[in-house]
Amino acid sequence: MENLNKLPLIGEKAPSFEAQTTKGKVSFPEDYKGRWVVLFSHPADFTPVCTTEFVAFQKRYEEFRKLNCELIGLSIDQVFSHIKWVEWIKEKLGVEIEFPIIADDRGQIATLFGMIHPSKGSNTVRAVFIIDPNGVVRVMLYYPQEVGRNMDEILRIVKALQISDNNKVAIPANWPNNELIEDKVIIPPATDEKTAKERFEKAKAKEIECFDWWFCYKELK
């Protein structure tokens, strides 16, 4: 009980668990090894904001999968409730939810991830964990129950993390529509004089662009 409501930290391994979902039993992270995962919680089935979120996630599911990223939903409802809610969404809204929803009716997984905030009630808040193929937590987002999430931002974060990892660069604010450098990416700042001078030489050769030695950027190739 020492870890009650202890949030995992960015850079730590995500807690492991086994769970029943609408798609059968899953073992995490074993079943998702080598893939990115967006694990997200919602307060309750058969609620308006949550319904809009699930539809929005499903509408972008193929985009996530093209990024080798899977979606996993979670709430403290029972699996029977999840199944009926998914059926309702398909029947009434014409949207089939293809990703699994965890039935965490005892709240054990929600506790591992700090998804239950007592001041907001006994249900899970709108938490999002983006976990990389090595099972490491890379991003955590928390929303109150009364505000729905922006799925395009979550998709943008996954894309940005992959670009950062693959190219050893940083991603500017509002990328790919940054106010200063548009869709370009930031080169990590020089940490010694030699590298700082090399940056200026590369800038002169038009290999990169710089506002100063500590703020250089380039086009993503």
Beta-carbon count within 10 A of 53 CB: 20
Instruction: Say yes or no: 176 and 88 in one domain.
Output: no
Is residue 124, in this structure, part of any structural domain at all? yes
Looking at the domain assignment, is residue 38 inside a domain?
A: yes
Catalytic positions? 50
Do 138 and 29 fall into the same domain? yes
CATH number at residue 125: 3.40.30.10
The strand pair at 36-41 and 69-75 is best described as: parallel
Kindly report the CATH number assigned to the domain that includes residue 191.
3.30.1020.10
Distance (Å, rounded) from C-alpha 175 to C-alpha 165? 15
Of 2-11, 45-54, 150-159, the one with minimum mean pLDDT is 2-11
161 located within any domain: no
- Asked whether residue 110 is domain-assigned, the answer is yes
Query: Of the residues 149, 183, 200, which one is the last residue of a structural domain?
Result: 149
How many domains is the chain partitioned into structurally? 2
136 & 174 share domain: no
Contact partners, residue 116, CB within 8 Å, separation at least 6: 5, 76, 107, 110, 122, 123, 124, 125
Residue that finishes a domain, picked among 149, 176, 193: 149
What pLDDT digit, counting tens, does each position of 51-99 carry?
Answer: 999 999 999 999 999 999 999 999 999 999 999 999 999 999 999 999 9
Q: Which residues pair with 27 in a beta bridge?
A: 18
Cβ pair 10, 132 in contact under 8 A: no
My answer on whether 96 and 28 are in the same domain is yes
Are 105 and 177 members of one domain?
no
Domain range enclosing 47: 17-149
Q: Name the residue with tokens 């080169």.
A: 187
Q: 125 and 49, same structural domain?
A: yes
6 belongs to a structural domain: no
Residue 186: beta bridge partners? 170, 217
- The model's pLDDT over 176-212, given as tens digits with 9 standing for 90+, comes to 999 999 999 999 988 899 988 888 888 888 899 999 9
